[in-house]
Amino acid sequence: MQVNSEMKILVVDDFATMRRIVKDLLRQCGFTNIVEANDGSTALQMIYSDQVELIISDWNMPKMTGLELLRAVRHDPITQHLPFLMITAEADAERVVQAIRSGVTNYIVKPFSADVLQKKLDQLFVNEATAQDGAKKDGSADEEAEEPVDELDAAIAAAKGDASPGEEAETDTSSENAVEDNPQAANS
């Protein structure tokens, strides 16, 4: 699938270091049109004013959390279609369930590498294209658009400590997936 490397991506995190890391990882993935916000309230304004095409948001932030931002985006018919990637430092199954129920497109657990981010973005774009194709054909989305629910099972299993090695890779927080230049910042 051909992805527009010029699409406008909004990175939302209250830590400037984490925003920089995510922006650097996005650049490694080939994206160049990246804007940023330091909290959900600012992000919500930017979504409208900057014609954002993808939102990548941290969960824990002051003023408006990532989950509150997600719910606001999904509640508005103008923005509800936007792909939304949630970033969290916790692989807690309850949080993942909350995000899924609130309409998150995909999620990623800190720390993560450019490869992990690229994989999540690929899944996100495939799911979005599948959902759009399904809606065009018969007014509903295909089952593949529900992939985050399948990943939820792996996240829950990993959080409980009973995942198989293949499932564990989805939420692995080992040093192999750590951000090379500042792994501690990616945990904030």
- pTM here is 0.71
Tell me the per-residue pLDDT of 76-92, one tens digit each, with 9 for 90 and over. Answer: 999 999 999 999 888 78
Tell me the per-residue pLDDT of 146-158, one tens digit each, with 9 for 90 and over. Answer: 344 445 556 544 5
Catalogue all structural domains in the chain, each as residue range(s) with its CATH number. 9-187 (3.40.50.2300)
Tell me the per-residue pLDDT of 95-143, one tens digit each, with 9 for 90 and over. Answer: 888 899 999 999 898 888 889 999 998 888 887 666 655 544 444 333 3
DSSP per residue, 38-79: SSHHHHHHHHHHTT-SEEEEES--SSS-HHHHHHHHHHSTTT
Between the alpha carbon of residue 130 and those of residues 1, 55, 94, the distances in Å are: 11, 19, 27
- Taking the C-alpha atoms of residue 49 and residue 42, their distance in angstroms, rounded to an integer, is 11
